[in-house]
Each structure stands twice: as structure tokens, then as C-alpha cells.
Amino acid sequence: MALASSPASVLGAAGSRLARLKAQARKPGEASFFFYDAHFKNDAVKILPGEYFVDDEDILVMTTLGSCIAACLWDREEQVGGMNHFMLPEGGGAAALAASGRYGSYAMELLINEMIKRGATRSTMEAKVFGGGAVISGMNTINVGERNTTFVLDYLRTERIAVVSKDVMDIYPRKVCFLPASGK
């Protein structure tokens, strides 16, 4: 008796993971742009402004930042981690707009709550923070990058989540690559 090969077995383990991730339903604000990164030779997900992603496998979680912030959280006991990407510290105006991952206060809640759902605890979480750059010269009056940086560091201090690494402020954009199972 011959068995038909499934598309997953033909693609191999890496291809089946991408297919599985692409097929899963996504929560509001959860990243959904999955691809294979040839440079790092790894499956990857791109985080856009206002999005987050949490996993317990070492899929490459990537984003590019200017004045925005990416917080990478990792739970050292549960081996689960995630990243968000937010544009401003807090939203004003309508409640629907304020409840958007584009604002740090909501983005941090989304990320922390999703990690807790996966078994993480605040006491075993650690953070790496990136971004907050002043990448456009002459835009010093509103200091978005500085405000974002101050917000996220204060937020993490209030939540008692240790910041183990940070690369913030200055004038440079940043490309961030994070592996959520290992915290690298």
C-alpha cells in the first residue's frame, strides 16, 4: 500500500513550520508576515509598527526601528519570548485608538499578557530594549525617541522586569533580530 506524501513532509521541517504559522488564526495586533530569511538561514516573522509576536521556538523575530521602540521579553524558566514594536508612549483620543499596539502602554500589555498565557511570569522575565533614535535631523522639538525610551524603561521598572540589555537613543536606525526560545 503506497502512502501519499503530504505537502508538509515534502517541504521538510522548516517549510512545515512556516506553513503552520501562516495557516494559524492571528489575534488582533499579532504579526503575520512569515518568511524564510536566507541570510540567517532561519524561518522568520517581521514585526510591523503596532504588532507583537510571542513563541517558544527559535523563529527569527525581526523589525526595523527609528524613533519607535521594540521591547524583547524573555522568560528564562519557560524559554518563551516575544517582541513588540510601538510608535508612541501613550495614545489620546478615542478608546479604540488608544487600545492600539502602536502605543507603548497597550503594546506592553499585549506582549506581557501573551507571554503569561504561555506560562511566563513577571519575576522570571527579562527585557532587551531597542530604538528611540533621533533619525531625522531637525526633529528635536518633539523628541519622540526620547519619550518612547523613557516610557518603556519606566514601564518595565514599574512591572519589575529587569532590563538586561538596551541599545536606545542616539541618531541611528536599528534592525533588531530576536530568537524567542533562547532570548538571543
**3 state SS of 105:** helix
User: What is the model's pTM?
Assistant: 0.88
Pairwise CA distance, residues 69 & 63, whole Å: 10
List, for residues 95-106, the tens digit of each pLDDT value.
545 568 999 999
List, for residues 134-184, the tens digit of each pLDDT value.
988 766 667 899 999 999 999 999 999 999 999 999 999 999 999 999 999
Sequence-separated (6 or more) residues with CB below 8 Å from residue 132? 65, 67, 68, 69, 145, 146, 148, 149, 152, 168, 169
For 117-123, what is the mean pLDDT? 97
For 28-50, what is the mean pLDDT? 97
| Average pLDDT value for the chain | 89
List, for residues 62-82, the tens digit of each pLDDT value.
999 999 999 999 999 999 999
Where is average pLDDT lowest: 12-21, 44-53, 95-104, 175-184?
95-104
In this structure, what are the phi and psi dihedrals at residue 20, rounded to the nearest 5 degrees?
-65, -45
Residue 117 or 7, more confident: 117
